[in-house]
Chain A
């Protein structure tokens, strides 16, 4: 991971070596442009992901109706020109609910991945850096966490803490910790052997300086890759938790809740209540997955398959 390797983050163009003259926004623009040129497919899906984020942020403006208001004259209507995606059992507009559902979904996904990956990465950094008994004990703890399938662990924690936005975020974040911990630890271990770190140590750099000045910056690329590749999984786990009834409690519209509700509509769920929320999940996960793949290929192709 030295700066001299041709496929290092610096050469790949994201971790820029000191451009003192360029302003930050312009630098950012350059990076985006280069990304679009190298990974056109991912850039396209990145645009879709950005659109989804915009819709989520502007949900009250974009949604045609209030997602919580029931219209009892129009209950369980199939899609028509008034309600494009139809209405549910108590006459709420499905399109508005899908749009508002994106808010919850994205909030949970971003918060959980940010929290989980950051905690995991810092933990992995400490493990790799200090080693010794701390590392051995930490590895055991991470192994315990990894012996639960993701969804089951998230389900148990969400159930134990009681439903709600915060608990769902924490539950999903905890399932993301081992990934950050393992990968960042491996990166740090390989960095520690690098000649430039040895040299810095030989020059008498303190361990704090070594950690923050020489090792931490090299962990940023893997950290970003981890965070983006786990967004999709987080969205799916959030939807599954909602579907199983341990997510964010109704009436908050989330995609998982909507799918669970559709099964309560009677023996045969109306097709529009099943199709649209699920399609929203699929589209969002697809967009974030492909964007993540592109970012990974650009920042560090060697991590392919590792995260």
Chain B
């Protein structure tokens, strides 16, 4: 088990390194002049050639790529993550202010996806092709097709027209103002949670159906255990292994999905910051946020892999 964790972490470190290089290269092949983004096409023509050169140098973009990369790595290591083009705050400040909201949304949506997805899957798998099963499948197929941000827009509109209600737009921390915080977080969490629940329900259903046919489940029934105990104590734990893996993959879906969904709800979280940075062509913020998202995604998947290995010796011993 220990060697497995070490191996997985070493691979993770390598992946993070590769990810940082990929992000850096993507952001540096940006064909647009960063000065155009700052001053606008008109402002750019008013600058003299020397001014442009000195501004580029000031931003650190005239140095060789490898030096720029080194400086970025240093910024990350020091925890400041560099500055935005347009805003006075550093990326670290932005994270401190906005990341908790998005983290809350992600966590809440994962919890929601399990709370909704697993019971639906159990009901479906116990009576396959019954009315309940078919209704559940139709709904999950529908949720796989509905874009989360559109659902979010509809919810915002519906609440506004139906009840004259709008979630508060200013950020509120969980500790200082839990009520406002919950109102902000609940909408995106529900939308993202239901989107994941559809995948979870589908995967858990097929996994349960497979496990229920196994010999050991039949043995448990033959021994006279009550049906409920067979399902919850014997079948479910094994059937949930692939669901845990899927849940890790879906976290990427939540992280990425939070960008348009937060835009739809107007949530002042990290996803909205990403949306602003994209539209302002703010490459420094983009570079850092994309890197962070990828690192979080990689780390969560390592955590999921280790959990699975801990739960399932077959994987550990491979």
Contacts and interface: CB of A to CB of B under 8 A. Distances in A.
Given A156-B23, A161-B31, A245-B278, A289 B141 contact: yes
B294 A278 contact: no
Q: Which of A147, A245, A305 has the most CB of B within 10 A?
A: A147
Contact of B252 (A141, A149, A160, A304): A149
B153 A278 contact: yes
A161 B203 CA distance: 36
B26 interface: yes
Given A149-B293, A274-B153, A243 B145 contact: no
Interface string A251-293: 0000000010011000011010011011001100110011000
Interface in B1-54: 14-15, 18-19, 22-23, 26-27, 29-32
Interface stretch (A31-39, A215-223, A232-240): A232-240
Interface string B63-83: 000000000000000000000
Contacts of A152: 255-256, 259, 290, 293-294
Nearest to A278: B150
B278 A244 contact: yes
A147 B260 contact: no
A159 B253 contact: no
B141 A286 contact: yes
A244 B27 contact: no
B146 A149 contact: no
Interface in A140-161: 140-141, 143-145, 147-152, 155-157, 159-161
A157 B31 CA distance: 11
Given A147-B15, A156-B26, A159-B278, A282 B157 contact: no
Given A274-B150, A278-B147, A278-B150, A147 B19 contact: yes
B157 A271 contact: yes
A277 B257 CA distance: 19
A243 B278 contact: no
B176 interface: no
Interface in A13-44: none
A271 B253 contact: no
B160 interface: yes
Contacts of B163: none
B142 interface: yes
A59 interface: no
Contact of B263 (A156, A244, A290): A244
Contact of A144 (B19, B144, B150): B19
25 contacts: A147-B15, A147-B301, A148-B290, A148-B293, A149-B255, A151-B256, A151-B260, A152-B293, A152-B294, A156-B27, A156-B286, A157-B26, A159-B278, A232-B144, A240-B259, A240-B260, A244-B275, A244-B279, A262-B153, A263-B264, A268-B160, A281-B150, A282-B146, A285-B144, A290-B141
Top 4 closest pairs, chain A to chain B, by CB: A278-B150, A149-B256, A149-B252, A151-B256
Interface of A: 140-141, 143-145, 147-152, 155-157, 159-162, 232, 236, 239-240, 243-246, 259, 262-263, 268-269, 271, 274-275, 277-278, 281-282, 285-286, 289-290, 304-305
Given A149-B293, A150-B256, A152-B259, 5 more contacts: A147-B18, A152-B290, A152-B293, A156-B27, A159-B286
Interface of B: 14-15, 18-19, 22-23, 26-27, 29-32, 141-142, 144-147, 149-150, 153-154, 157, 160-161, 203, 206, 242, 252-253, 255-257, 259-260, 263-264, 274-275, 278-279, 281, 286, 290, 293-294, 297-298, 301
